[in-house]
């Protein structure tokens, strides 16, 4: 199974575990899409570019404010939420319905991000 096939499998697993998630993607830190399970109406390129920009700002904020490292971001919007979590060399992004179960989304994303990180670390 290729890396992309494995990543797509994990995205499907995430969406099956959390009904509040309406789409997910794995994005490189430069804003390019690795794999996507985003809704058809979503602008994938815009989501990827914004995710990379949000990651960069979040990393700089963590370093400047707390001399720490970025872990995750939850962007609350009126139409739903956008979650970002680092997954090694890539970013795991999820788009949710309004007022999701934030704890469940975060818990499941942390688990899947570890699996995705391992895929890119070993190349398997």
CATH of the domain at 74: 3.30.450.30
Number of domains in the chain: 1
SS3 76: strand
Residues in Cβ contact with 52 at an 8 Å cutoff, skipping those fewer than 6 apart: 27, 28, 29, 30, 31, 91
Q: Are 80 and 74 in contact (CB under 8 A)?
A: no
Range of the domain at 91: 3-122
**95-115 pLDDT tens trace:** 999 999 999 999 999 999 999
**45-81 pLDDT tens trace:** 999 999 999 999 999 999 999 999 889 999 999 999 9
Give the dihedral sign, CA 87/93/96/99: positive
Question: Which of 82, 88, 91, 97 has the alpha carbon at shortest distance from 121?
Answer: 88
pTM over 0.75: yes
């Amino acid at each position: 199974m290729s890396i992309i096939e494995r990543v797509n499998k994990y995205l499907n697993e995430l969406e099956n575990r959390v009904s509040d998630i309406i789409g997910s993607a794995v994005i490189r830190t430069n804003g390019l899409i690795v794999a996507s399970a985003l809704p058809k109406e979503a602008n994938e390129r815009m989501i990827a570019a914004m995710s990379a920009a949000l990651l960069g700002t979040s990393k700089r904020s963590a370093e400047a404010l707390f001399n720490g490292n970025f872990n995750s971001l939850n962007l609350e919007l009126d139409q739903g939420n956008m979650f970002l979590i680092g997954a090694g060399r890539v970013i795991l992004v999820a788009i949710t319905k309004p007022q999701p179960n934030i704890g469940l989304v975060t818990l499941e994303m942390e688990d899947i991000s570890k699996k995705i990180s391992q895929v890119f670390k070993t190349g398997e």
